[in-house]
Structure 1
Amino acid sequence: MNVVSLHQCFLGTLQANAEIRTQAEQQLKSAQKERGFLACCLDILNSADIELPVKKACLIYFKNIIIKNWRENGSIDHDEKPIVRERLLATIVHSDRSTKAIFIPILNEILVTDYPTEWPDFLDSTTRLFANPNDLDSLYTGMLCFSELCRKYRWMKNEDRSSQLDSIIKQYFSSLLQIGGQIISDSASSDSHWQLPEILKLILKSYKFVTYLDLPEPLQEEEAISNWIGFHVAVMNISLPSSAMQLDEEERHLSPWVKSQKWAYANILNIYVRYGSKGWLSDGSYTQFRALFSSSVVPELLKTYFGKIEEWRQGHRWISDASLYHIISFIEHAVTRKSSWGIIQPFLNNLISELAFPIFYPKDSVLELFEDDPQEYIMMTFTIEETSNSPVTAVRNLIATLAEKRKDTALEPILQFAYGKLNSLTSEQDTINVARQRESALRIIGCISSQLVEEQSPFKDQMEAFLSALVFPNFKSRFGFLRARTCNVSSKFSKLSFTDPNNLSVLFQGVMNCFNDSGHLPVQFEGALAIQSFIDFPQFKEALGSIIVPTTEKLLTLSGAIDSDLIPSVIQSCVENYSEQLEPFGISLTAKLSEQLMKLLEELNEAQSADPDDFDSDELGSKTNAALGIFSTLLTVLLYFENSAQKIAKLEQIYAPVLHYVLAKDLDSFFAETFEMLENTTFLTRNVSPTMWSLFEDSLRALMNSDLSLNLEDAMPALKNYMVYGASTIKTNSEYQQAMIGMVMKVFNKDGDFAPDDVMNAAELSTYIILALDSNSAGPYVPHLVKKSLEMMTFEEAEQPGNVYKIIIANVIIASLVVDPNHCLQTLIETSSTDSFFNLWNELCTSYKRVFDMKLSIMGLLSFLSIDTESLSQMNLEGVIPQFGKNLTILLTAVPKAISELEKKRKEMADTDGSNEITDEFIFGDNDEDSDEDENNEQENRDLAEAAETGGFVLDDDYIEQYGFATDDTFDEDPYANTPLDNLNIFKTFKDFILSVQASDSNKYSSIISQLNPEQMDTISNIVQIASN
């Protein structure tokens, strides 16, 4: 590998000419395959004569190769790895300051893979860099490498790392304290060397990494606790030097001094929550440490923190937002501890007035967002503040915790402060300063609202008057941010029972005025959410009903303007509450929702295909949530047209392109929602349209291209519906058959990370596929499916509780016996499996609880018993006829009650019109035809179910117990789902069979009933009699 030519390649990647760049990139792709490529990269990085931009380009390329290919089975030559390890640390030492951070992921990747086995001298090489404290580049590099070694242990528990980590801590952590202490002792002097505050930050991060998930035993010792806590407090006490304070306030958090203080506070908080107090994050391993920390450390830390807050309030100390967050969060946690509450209580009023109130007071920069970037203002102020480490979030949590955990002591002072502040401002002019103070006071009220309105609250009866006098008037403020906050806080009192209609009128008018404030997006946003909060109020609901269509249209517009899942949720509430009024608007509503959803999906697809660094993760998260919200709303709209297949047919044409886009672009984050739309469309129409068949093809392609083990379960209801309602098409379309069989065989062959649940899903899908076919179309697949099912019978079977796994796998063979008995029995005989399978089947016949399983087994038994006696004799199978006759009777006795219970579930879970009822007429492969079943069959089924409950069949507990119907090996039947056997009148089918056999083959009839007792014979007679009426 020629270093000069490689240098030219990296230089070429920086050229403005696209053709030169492309050529250089292609040359690099070829060059990286040659032995010695990484060593040449290191030569470039170590050369003093090469320009810094070229070095950066080389280093980034080098980093990407290491990260992608270092681990086992990567493309990096095995002989080149020792060269990289040997030269890496020296390269970092001599690298430019601006490139050192790029080495961090390189170090991390190699250490995770190679330390200590392949890189045993790494620790010695690292600590040798500490030897000369005057060589700051070496000292910094040593600390950088040491912190990355500590990072390796971040996610390990002590039992998995103590053998390596404890000796490192004992040998070297005291040196870290010494180095850090020297930096702290003269921060002003240290500030003249950029390496020193960076080293301080790395020391704190090293401590963070080793204490993040578990607390190493060497750091639980009393002396170590004292030393390290003292070091952290010393970092907190640093007066920020000029390099930090000269930065703009918005940029100051980037200073390593400021970051060091942030990590000092963060480490202490993590130690307190995880190890220093009892709680769900801690366990019983830290009893001694916890006692020492609670009694000796926490009181001193609280005094330190209250002192810092006082300095901050007086303007004598600047504290970053992140550090404030950790300070306040520490105090919040201490509030919940009995041992520390006594220390905090005297400071309660100060926490409210001197901490919460000024932090809630909106800054100029925040109000500028209200005007200049309203979406960012909404995200920061209303929707995602709980995910950010901001002091606003911490204060909100602190006030809420005080009100909840120290209710008797703290709730009244908090309310009194907010009341007093709002009351004192009632006579003031509506100036920006007054509006800000009201905003802050209202936020305090919002934090304690849930405690104020609970049933036992002594303040509940006063809240309506409080809202009327001090909150609702702010609906008329000339400042939009205050109107938005008024909506937000008012919504938190939606559980309050208002007694004065005038107050409700003011509330409704205020909310709607906010919602109609098209000039201020945050105001409109909060108005929309308030509509949802109060939509169940009768007065509110009645007034909104007269304007629901224009309101919904405006919500759609708002949804398009804001990437949030909250507005689609409001639309969904409107659809649920005003379905009749909105029904004529359904087509337009679906079109607008689909348009918005498509826009979001295209943006997300673009982000998925691009460099992750080019997109904001919070923004992508908001877009994803917004898309999920619209999917949910679309489904709600669809369900409200469940009684009109014609309208659904129009709707599906509108949203089908969205579903196609998700599947075509492999946007697997939305596969579940897409399959749910397909499931409900086919279920509600009881039909598969050409559009739905097109999406079926998209679905199969997307599933096979994705991780099937992650997506099959989500797709199951939709795929089963295709087999039920599209059976006639499946029966004649060999491409669809092969695609479906190919998918289930992929699972059966374990071609992926498939679990037993995946096997069960594939088996159930196989059963539905077979039942959609006839003997001719099923013939090519039955032998393979039967063989695979027999193999799957033992697939991790020991881990499967009860008979559920066996039932679902056996159903594949039973369905094959129903549709294609010749190939099924031939395969069982060829594999010498008849005895074992029939024995299992006999056992399962006393375990079924689902109607589908019972009907399928009855049909399988009838299919077998319909084979002529001579053929059965030739196969040596006539001996099972008596047992199969007994199984038939057991199942026919149990199925009426099962049908009755399923119908009861369906009636309880939904107001159905009978379309979900089992109609008990059966034609294999024709379940998708549009036909009204014979009313007599429905009545027949109801009569039989009723007979089961009224004594027509004996089904008492003794009978069930006698014939083995255990209650523990069951699984639920989905009352909403349809199956290929729902239209099967099993009793008529049995009647026709048994009368035919009795008339045509008396010997077989005698064999069938030979093991039946008089009670079972009566059951057969009852079935024949009732089914004949």
Structure 2
Amino acid sequence: MNVVSLHQCFLGTLQANAEIRTQAEQQLKSAQKERGFLACCLDILNSADIELPVKKACLIYFKNIIIKNWRENGSIDHDEKPIVRERLLATIVHSDRSTKAIFIPILNEILVTDYPTEWPDFLDSTTRLFANPNDLDSLYTGMLCFSELCRKYRWMKNEDRSSQLDSIIKQYFSSLLQIGGQIISDSASSDSHWQLPEILKLILKSYKFVTYLDLPEPLQEEEAISNWIGFHVAVMNISLPSSAMQLDEEERHLSPWVKSQNGPMPISLTFMSDMALKDGYLMIEEWRQGHRWISDASLYHIISFIEHAVTRKSSWGIIQPFLNNLISELAFPIFYPKDSVLELFEDDPQEYIMMTFTIEETSNSPVTAVRNLIATLAEKRKDTALEPILQFAYGKLNSLTSEQDTINVARQRESALRIIGCISSQLVEEQSPFKDQMEAFLSALVFPNFKSQFGFLRARTCNVSSKFSKLSFTDPNNLSVLFQGVMNCFNDSGHLPVQFEGALAIQSFIDFPQFKEALGSIIVPTTEKLLTLSGAIDSDLIPSVIQSCVENYSEQLEPFGISLTAKLSEQLMKLLEELNEAQSADPDDFDSDELGSKTNAALGIFSTLLTVLLYFENSAQKIAKLEQIYAPVLHYVLAKDLDSFFAETFEMLENTTFLTRNVSPTMWSLFEDSLRALMNSDLSLNLEDAMPALKNYMVYGASTIKTNSEYQQAMIGMVMKVFNKDGDFAPDDVMNAAELSTYIILALDSNSAGPYVPHLVKKSLEMMTFEEAEQPGNVYKIIIANVIIASLVVDPNHCLQTLIETSSTDSFFNLWNELCTSYKRVFDMKLSIMGLLSFLSIDMESLSQMNLEGVIPQFGKNLTILLTAVPKAISELEKKRKDMADTDGSNEITDEFIFGDNGEDSDEDENNEQENRDLAEAAETGGFVLDDDYIEQYGFATDDTFDEDPYANTPLDNLNIFKTFKDFILSVQASDSNKYSSIISQLNPEQMDTISNIVQIASN
């Protein structure tokens, strides 16, 4: 490997010319396969003559190779690994400051894999770098390496690491305290050396890593605890040097000195307990008086600690005397909006919304901590703290009523309103002594702010008003003012945050009768505006508002449905394209919070699309139009393997096919996309989500599946991947694949099923044999056995032939006999009845040749038991469906909707339903026995929890099982009296009456 040529390759990757870059990248891919490549990279990194950009390109490439290939099965030559380990530390020492952080993941990867067995001298090499405190590059590198060694033990408990870690702590942690103490004692003179605050951070990190999950025994000693608490406190109390204080306040948190102080804050406060409360309050006092600067992160930890202490009886006595000061001198000033925040309101409203109304809780900001503190005070110390908090906010707002609407007054009102928002839930609860006063309070001191000239205050007014949506208003005038204020905010197109909060307020008050009636007259333009707003803000909250509108005004919005779906699909596609771009790019190029917001917004739109779809459930024609609109979105998710949205995509496919009872050409195209995406993804993670959609394809697309061998092979290939355990599949995955196999077989006929039945039967037998010990429950056995039973229904010849060839007839039939007394689901009962009828329909001569005629009496008995149980099961399933339809206020699902079949068999379905009712009634009135005693007499397990999904459709839903049985039994009775006699030979008189009643009712 030639260092010069490798240098040219890395230089080429930095060129503006795309052709040169591509050529250089190809050359690097070839070069990395040669022995000595990593050593040459280290030569480049250690060369003083090579430009820094080239070194950075080389280091990033080097890092990626190490991370991807260092472990045992990687492509790195084992002879080259010792060279890398030997040279790595010296390379870090002499590297540029801007590149040192890139070495961290490299160190981490090698240490996790190789220490201590393959890199036993790492610790000695690291600690030798501590020897000369004047060589700051070596000292910094030593601390960097030492902290990464400590990181290795971060997620281990003491019993798993003490043999290695305890000796390291005993030997070297005192040195860390000594080095850190020297830096702290002379922080002013240390300011000229960038390494020193970084070393301080690394010392704190080392301690944090080894104490993260468990406190090592050497650090449990009283002296060690005292020393390390003292060190953390000393870091917290460092007077920030001039390099930090000279920075603009908004940028000061970037100083390494400030970062070093942020780290010890939560640890110190935890250890110091009640003593820390007084010290924390003292620090806040100094901060309030301008004598001390505290970073937002440190302030967050101090306030959060106080909040936690509020809940403890021992510490509440310390906090209580300071309660009023905490409200007036801490909460109010922190809620008072800064200039920088108000600049965002005008210049970057999206960021303002994210910071102020949406993701604030995820950030370690003082505002978040104060909000939590006030809320906790009001909830946990209600009797003592709620009234003083309310009185302060009331007094502040009341004192400002006569003031001009200036920016300063608006800021004070904003702060006071935020305090009210924190305690709102306590004010409106049933037992609150203040509840009856709240309407007057809102009317006098909150609602007037709807007319403020300052948009941020109008937005806050909407926000706080929404928190009182559970309040029962008595004065219609107040409701009128509220509605007008909310709608004015919503229509404020000049200020996005105001419009955003107006939209959320619409959702909060949409159930108020007066509000709902007034909004109904303008719901279409309101929804259109919500769609525009949704496109302007990456948030899942606005789609949720749209969803509420659709749910409450479905009739008014139905004509708008096509346009609504189109706009939602357009917005969703835009978000998906942006997320796909981010997924394909370097993670460092995208903000994680922004990506999270976009993901949540996309999920929200998916949910709204589904809501719109469900409101067209009674119009297959309209759904056909809708699916053409949203199909490209579903295709994009599947084609780009955006697995974060697979569940939502499959849910859309499931509901589209369910509501139309049909599979259109568009849906078949998406079926192909689905199979490809599932096979390309981690099937163990996605099969569960895809199951309802795939089953619907087998139910409503059976005629196409029956004739399309490519679809058959693709589906069978997928389930066989699970059966063969070609991946990390759990028992649930196996059951899903088995249930899907059953549906596939039932969609076929004997000719098309023939090539697959032997393989599926053999696999099912294997799974029942090998996994029975681990899966003792009936559910697993039922679902696996159903594959064989479905094969017997559709292709009895191949099924029985396979059972005989594998010597499995006796074992399987014995299992089936047991399961016939365990079924709960209508589908399982119907399937076994059909399987028994299929077997009993085979002529006696063929059964005798296979030596299977001996099972006929038992199968006749099983048939009767199942026919006895199935009417009650059908009745209970219909009741479940009716109950769910009755409780689903917005999506009423009728019996016709559930049991209909595109109108093709409506008369048949009506007859089926009447027959089911007749049979259930016969059971109740003594026509035949259905009580639990009878069922238990024949072995039924009445405590089985294998429930049936009332919304699920199966291939046997429209099968009139009683008519099928009647036709069979009458035919056998007329054509083969010997077989008939064998079938009924084990039946008692009561069971014979059951058969007679079924035949009689099915004949009417």
Give the shorter-chain TM-score range: over 0.9
How far the C-alpha of 1:799 sits from its partner, in A, is: 3.0
The answer to whether the Cα contact below 8 Å between 1:529 and 1:567 also exists between their aligned partners in 2 is: yes
Once residues 342 and 224 of structure 1 are traced to their aligned partners in structure 2, the CA distance between those partners, rounded to angstroms, is 30
Once residues 920 and 493 of structure 1 are traced to their aligned partners in structure 2, the CA distance between those partners, rounded to angstroms, is 40
How far the C-alpha of 1:930 sits from its partner, in A, is: 7.3
Once residues 917 and 161 of structure 1 are traced to their aligned partners in structure 2, the CA distance between those partners, rounded to angstroms, is 59
Change (3 A) 1:877 1:104: same
CA displacement 1:762-816 (0-9 Å, x = unmatched): 1101101111111111111111111111111134333335200000000000000
Provide TM-score, normalisation by structure 2. 0.97
Once residues 778 and 848 of structure 2 are traced to their aligned partners in structure 1, the CA distance between those partners, rounded to angstroms, is 31
The more displaced of 904-913 and 219-228 is 904-913
Change (3 A) 1:913 1:817: farther
- Aligned length in residues: 998
CA displacement 1:501-544 (0-9 Å, x = unmatched): 11111111111110011110000000000000011111111111
How far the C-alpha of 1:658 sits from its partner, in A, is: 1.0
The answer to whether the Cα contact below 8 Å between 1:922 and 1:985 also exists between their aligned partners in 2 is: no
* Structure 1 spans left out of the alignment, 5+ residues: 262-292
How far the C-alpha of 1:294 sits from its partner, in A, is: 12
Once residues 919 and 888 of structure 2 are traced to their aligned partners in structure 1, the CA distance between those partners, rounded to angstroms, is 20
The more displaced of 776-785 and 961-970 is 961-970
Change (3 A) 1:848 1:921: farther
Q: What secondary structure is seen at the aligned counterpart in 2 of 1:934?
A: helix
Once residues 671 and 214 of structure 1 are traced to their aligned partners in structure 2, the CA distance between those partners, rounded to angstroms, is 39
Once residues 927 and 775 of structure 1 are traced to their aligned partners in structure 2, the CA distance between those partners, rounded to angstroms, is 26
The answer to whether the Cα contact below 8 Å between 1:399 and 1:448 also exists between their aligned partners in 2 is: yes
The answer to whether the Cα contact below 8 Å between 1:771 and 1:925 also exists between their aligned partners in 2 is: no
Once residues 646 and 13 of structure 1 are traced to their aligned partners in structure 2, the CA distance between those partners, rounded to angstroms, is 55
CA displacement 1:665-701 (0-9 Å, x = unmatched): 1111111111101111111111111111111111111
Could you say which residue in structure 2 is the equivalent of 1:298?
A: 272
How far the C-alpha of 1:12 sits from its partner, in A, is: 2.5
How far the C-alpha of 1:647 sits from its partner, in A, is: 1.1
The answer to whether the Cα contact below 8 Å between 1:919 and 1:984 also exists between their aligned partners in 2 is: no
The more displaced of 497-506 and 9-18 is 9-18
How far the C-alpha of 1:339 sits from its partner, in A, is: 1.6
The answer to whether the Cα contact below 8 Å between 1:919 and 1:985 also exists between their aligned partners in 2 is: no
Once residues 471 and 744 of structure 2 are traced to their aligned partners in structure 1, the CA distance between those partners, rounded to angstroms, is 54
The answer to whether the Cα contact below 8 Å between 1:774 and 1:924 also exists between their aligned partners in 2 is: no
Change (3 A) 1:382 1:435: same
Once residues 921 and 498 of structure 1 are traced to their aligned partners in structure 2, the CA distance between those partners, rounded to angstroms, is 42
CA displacement 1:15-72 (0-9 Å, x = unmatched): 3333333322222221111111111111121222222222222212211111111112
CA displacement 1:965-995 (0-9 Å, x = unmatched): 1133331111011110011111111111111
How far the C-alpha of 1:127 sits from its partner, in A, is: 1.0
How far the C-alpha of 1:915 sits from its partner, in A, is: 17
Change (3 A) 1:1022 1:921: farther
CA displacement 1:900-919 (0-9 Å, x = unmatched): 00000000001599999999
Q: What secondary structure is seen at the aligned counterpart in 2 of 1:799?
A: coil
Once residues 231 and 663 of structure 1 are traced to their aligned partners in structure 2, the CA distance between those partners, rounded to angstroms, is 54
The answer to whether the Cα contact below 8 Å between 2:375 and 2:423 also exists between their aligned partners in 1 is: yes
Once residues 367 and 253 of structure 1 are traced to their aligned partners in structure 2, the CA distance between those partners, rounded to angstroms, is 20
Change (3 A) 1:296 1:904: closer
Q: What secondary structure is seen at the aligned counterpart in 1 of 2:907?
A: coil
2:677 to 685, 702, 725: 702
How far the C-alpha of 1:1018 sits from its partner, in A, is: 1.2
Once residues 881 and 925 of structure 1 are traced to their aligned partners in structure 2, the CA distance between those partners, rounded to angstroms, is 36
How far the C-alpha of 1:297 sits from its partner, in A, is: 5.1
The answer to whether the Cα contact below 8 Å between 1:725 and 1:928 also exists between their aligned partners in 2 is: no
Once residues 91 and 878 of structure 1 are traced to their aligned partners in structure 2, the CA distance between those partners, rounded to angstroms, is 82
The answer to whether the Cα contact below 8 Å between 1:322 and 1:390 also exists between their aligned partners in 2 is: yes
Work out the percentage of aligned pairs sharing the same amino acid: 98
Could you say which residue in structure 2 is the equivalent of 1:77?
A: 77
Once residues 213 and 269 of structure 2 are traced to their aligned partners in structure 1, the CA distance between those partners, rounded to angstroms, is 23
Change (3 A) 1:491 1:920: closer
How far the C-alpha of 1:921 sits from its partner, in A, is: 14
Change (3 A) 1:927 1:704: farther
Once residues 853 and 897 of structure 2 are traced to their aligned partners in structure 1, the CA distance between those partners, rounded to angstroms, is 27
Change (3 A) 1:924 1:454: closer
Once residues 71 and 925 of structure 1 are traced to their aligned partners in structure 2, the CA distance between those partners, rounded to angstroms, is 58
The answer to whether the Cα contact below 8 Å between 2:504 and 2:545 also exists between their aligned partners in 1 is: yes
How far the C-alpha of 1:213 sits from its partner, in A, is: 2.1
The answer to whether the Cα contact below 8 Å between 1:508 and 1:540 also exists between their aligned partners in 2 is: yes
How far the C-alpha of 1:298 sits from its partner, in A, is: 3.4
Once residues 162 and 475 of structure 2 are traced to their aligned partners in structure 1, the CA distance between those partners, rounded to angstroms, is 67
Once residues 640 and 492 of structure 1 are traced to their aligned partners in structure 2, the CA distance between those partners, rounded to angstroms, is 29
How far the C-alpha of 1:595 sits from its partner, in A, is: 1.0
Q: What secondary structure is seen at the aligned counterpart in 1 of 2:887?
A: coil
Once residues 414 and 764 of structure 2 are traced to their aligned partners in structure 1, the CA distance between those partners, rounded to angstroms, is 66
Once residues 1009 and 1026 of structure 1 are traced to their aligned partners in structure 2, the CA distance between those partners, rounded to angstroms, is 19
CA displacement 1:212-268 (0-9 Å, x = unmatched): 22222222222211111111111111110011111122221111110010xxxxxxx
The answer to whether the Cα contact below 8 Å between 1:727 and 1:925 also exists between their aligned partners in 2 is: no
The answer to whether the Cα contact below 8 Å between 1:847 and 1:970 also exists between their aligned partners in 2 is: no
The answer to whether the Cα contact below 8 Å between 1:515 and 1:526 also exists between their aligned partners in 2 is: yes
The aligned runs of 1:851-862 (5 Å cut-off) are 851-862=826-837
How far the C-alpha of 1:751 sits from its partner, in A, is: 1.1
The answer to whether the Cα contact below 8 Å between 1:605 and 1:665 also exists between their aligned partners in 2 is: yes
Change (3 A) 1:979 1:919: farther
The answer to whether the Cα contact below 8 Å between 2:274 and 2:315 also exists between their aligned partners in 1 is: no
How far the C-alpha of 1:445 sits from its partner, in A, is: 0.7
CA displacement 1:366-386 (0-9 Å, x = unmatched): 101101111110000000000
CA displacement 1:391-436 (0-9 Å, x = unmatched): 1111111111111111111111111111111111111100000000
The answer to whether the Cα contact below 8 Å between 2:634 and 2:649 also exists between their aligned partners in 1 is: yes
The answer to whether the Cα contact below 8 Å between 1:9 and 1:27 also exists between their aligned partners in 2 is: yes
Q: What secondary structure is seen at the aligned counterpart in 2 of 1:451?
A: helix
How far the C-alpha of 1:950 sits from its partner, in A, is: 3.1
How far the C-alpha of 1:753 sits from its partner, in A, is: 1.0
Once residues 925 and 447 of structure 1 are traced to their aligned partners in structure 2, the CA distance between those partners, rounded to angstroms, is 52
Could you say which residue in structure 1 is the equivalent of 2:109?
A: 109
The answer to whether the Cα contact below 8 Å between 2:140 and 2:195 also exists between their aligned partners in 1 is: yes
How far the C-alpha of 1:641 sits from its partner, in A, is: 0.9
The answer to whether the Cα contact below 8 Å between 1:442 and 1:489 also exists between their aligned partners in 2 is: yes
1:956 to 931, 940, 949: 931
Q: What secondary structure is seen at the aligned counterpart in 2 of 1:1011?
A: coil
Change (3 A) 1:1015 1:930: closer
Could you say which residue in structure 2 is the equivalent of 1:94?
A: 94
How far the C-alpha of 1:160 sits from its partner, in A, is: 2.1
Change (3 A) 1:946 1:800: same
The more displaced of 522-531 and 938-947 is 938-947
Change (3 A) 1:56 1:917: closer
Could you say which residue in structure 1 is the equivalent of 2:264?
A: none
CA displacement 1:632-690 (0-9 Å, x = unmatched): 00100111111111111111111111111111111111111111011111111111111
Once residues 351 and 900 of structure 2 are traced to their aligned partners in structure 1, the CA distance between those partners, rounded to angstroms, is 55
The answer to whether the Cα contact below 8 Å between 2:269 and 2:305 also exists between their aligned partners in 1 is: no
Once residues 73 and 307 of structure 2 are traced to their aligned partners in structure 1, the CA distance between those partners, rounded to angstroms, is 49
Change (3 A) 1:487 1:921: closer
* Structure 2 spans left out of the alignment, 5+ residues: 262-266
The answer to whether the Cα contact below 8 Å between 2:572 and 2:633 also exists between their aligned partners in 1 is: yes
Change (3 A) 1:775 1:926: farther
CA displacement 1:695-733 (0-9 Å, x = unmatched): 111111111111111111111101111111111111111
The answer to whether the Cα contact below 8 Å between 2:304 and 2:369 also exists between their aligned partners in 1 is: yes
CA displacement 1:55-106 (0-9 Å, x = unmatched): 2222122111111111121111111101111111111111122221111111
CA displacement 1:805-852 (0-9 Å, x = unmatched): 000000000000001111100010000000000000000000000000
How far the C-alpha of 1:920 sits from its partner, in A, is: 13
Once residues 913 and 933 of structure 1 are traced to their aligned partners in structure 2, the CA distance between those partners, rounded to angstroms, is 27
The more displaced of 1012-1021 and 886-895 is 1012-1021
The answer to whether the Cα contact below 8 Å between 1:747 and 1:762 also exists between their aligned partners in 2 is: yes
Once residues 116 and 925 of structure 2 are traced to their aligned partners in structure 1, the CA distance between those partners, rounded to angstroms, is 75
The answer to whether the Cα contact below 8 Å between 1:817 and 1:825 also exists between their aligned partners in 2 is: yes
What is the Cα-based RMSD across aligned positions, in Å?
2.3
The more displaced of 7-16 and 493-502 is 7-16
Once residues 676 and 382 of structure 2 are traced to their aligned partners in structure 1, the CA distance between those partners, rounded to angstroms, is 58
The answer to whether the Cα contact below 8 Å between 2:299 and 2:366 also exists between their aligned partners in 1 is: yes
Change (3 A) 1:638 1:499: same
